[in-house]
């Protein structure tokens, strides 16, 4: 069984096959991510997302064409697979409906990244079990798609755990801070997108996200070389 290394995977991502695999993995990952947020919110007592049709795995309910497809692919291709950034339509929640608002915010915030890690683990299990059979032609393509699902979902999970508004990590940090500091921190949200763009430009995202994602990718796939 031959596992593609990060550099080899990144080069293949720049092919037509890679673009198709990338689009599929991004749509799948973001749909699962947003569905997990909506499901967790419902479990905490808030039915806002469900009432607005967001408690679904249908990607059409979650995608933002520019933020979900165009921006991530342009960044992944231009950076050789090392940098990715994108977004789906945020799932609407009302924390006042949660049985325990602060606990609910933490659970809902973590649900998205946790779902992406779970999806990566499932794809890795399938890859490990079927890897020896997935050789040549269609098998090789399916193998690459599984790799892409694993890596992009890990990237999506770690990226969203960064505690910068509006990412999921900021919801967790805001919920555990004392109220006075939480309010000050939340006001930083207006600058969050600019901080993220700065991190991307300076290579900080690769250190914070790419490193952990590739490391876990190795563990899950048993990558050699």
Task: Write the DSSP symbol of residue 137.
Answer: H
Kindly tell me the burial class for residue 211, based on how many C-beta atoms sit within 10 Å of its own C-beta (0-12, 13-18, 19 or more): exposed
Provide the percentage of residues in the chain whose pLDDT is more than 90.
40
**pLDDT for 1:** 37
- pLDDT at residue 225 tops 50: no
Of the two residues 89 and 204, the one the predictor is more confident about is 89
Residue 101 in domain: yes
Kindly tell me the burial class for residue 60, based on how many C-beta atoms sit within 10 Å of its own C-beta (0-12, 13-18, 19 or more): exposed
Residues whose CB falls within 8 Å of the CB of residue 102, separated by 6 or more in sequence, listed in order: 175, 176
Residue numbers annotated as active site: 34
Residue 192 sits in which domain range?
Answer: 6-221
**pLDDT for 192:** 84
Secondary structure (3-state) at 154: helix
Measuring CA to CA, which residue among 147, 31, 148 is closest to residue 91?
31
In this structure, is the dihedral angle defined by the CA atoms of residues 223, 145, 59 and 56, taken in order, positive or negative?
Answer: negative
Residue 17 in domain: yes
- pLDDT at residue 4 tops 50: no
In this structure, is the dihedral angle defined by the CA atoms of residues 67, 72, 78 and 82, taken in order, positive or negative?
Answer: positive
pLDDT in tens, 147-190: 889 988 998 999 999 998 889 999 999 999 999 998 888 888 88
- pLDDT at residue 28 tops 80: yes
Residues whose CB falls within 8 Å of the CB of residue 82, separated by 6 or more in sequence, listed in order: 10, 206, 210
Cα 57 from Cα 69, distance rounded (Å): 17
Length of the chain: 225
| Number of domains, the chain | 1
Residue 1 in domain: no
- pLDDT at residue 94 tops 50: yes
Residue 116 CA: distances (Å) to CA of 28, 34, 98, 100, 163: 9, 10, 23, 25, 17
Secondary structure (3-state) at 98: coil
- Mean per-residue pLDDT of the chain: 83
**pLDDT for 99:** 93
SS3 for 69-97 is: HHHHHHHHHHCCCCCCCCCCCCCCCCHHH
Would you say 9 and 79 are in contact if contact means Cβ atoms under 8 Å apart? Answer: no
Would you say 1 and 131 are in contact if contact means Cβ atoms under 8 Å apart? Answer: yes
Residue 18 in domain: yes
Cα 122 from Cα 128, distance rounded (Å): 10
pTM of the complete model: 0.85
């Amino acid at each position: 069984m031959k596992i593609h290394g990060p550099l080899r995977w990144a080069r293949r991502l720049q092919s037509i096959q890679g673009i198709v695999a990338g689009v599929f993995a991004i749509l799948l990952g973001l749909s699962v991510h947003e569905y997990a947020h909506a499901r967790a919110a419902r479990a905490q007592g808030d039915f806002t997302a469900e009432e607005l049709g967001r408690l679904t795995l249908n990607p059409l309910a979650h995608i933002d064409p520019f933020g979900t497809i165009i921006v991530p692919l342009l960044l992944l291709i231009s950076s050789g697979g090392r940098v990715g950034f994108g977004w789906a339509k945020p799932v609407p929640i009302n924390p006042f409906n949660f049985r325990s608002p602060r606990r609910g915010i933490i659970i809902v915030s973590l649900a998205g990244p946790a779902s992406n890690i779970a999806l990566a683990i499932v794809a890795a299990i399938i890859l490990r079990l079927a890897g020896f059979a997935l050789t040549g032609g269609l098998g090789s393509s399916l193998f690459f798609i599984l790799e892409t699902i694993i890596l992009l979902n890990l990237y999506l999970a770690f990226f969203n755990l960064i505690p910068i508004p509006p990412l999921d990590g900021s919801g967790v940090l805001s919920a555990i801070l004392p109220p006075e500091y939480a309010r000050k921190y939340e006001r930083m949200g207006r600058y969050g997108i600019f901080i993220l763009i700065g991190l991307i430009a300076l290579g900080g995202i690769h250190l914070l996200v790419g490193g952990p994602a590739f490391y876990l990718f190795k563990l899950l796939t048993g990558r050699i070389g």
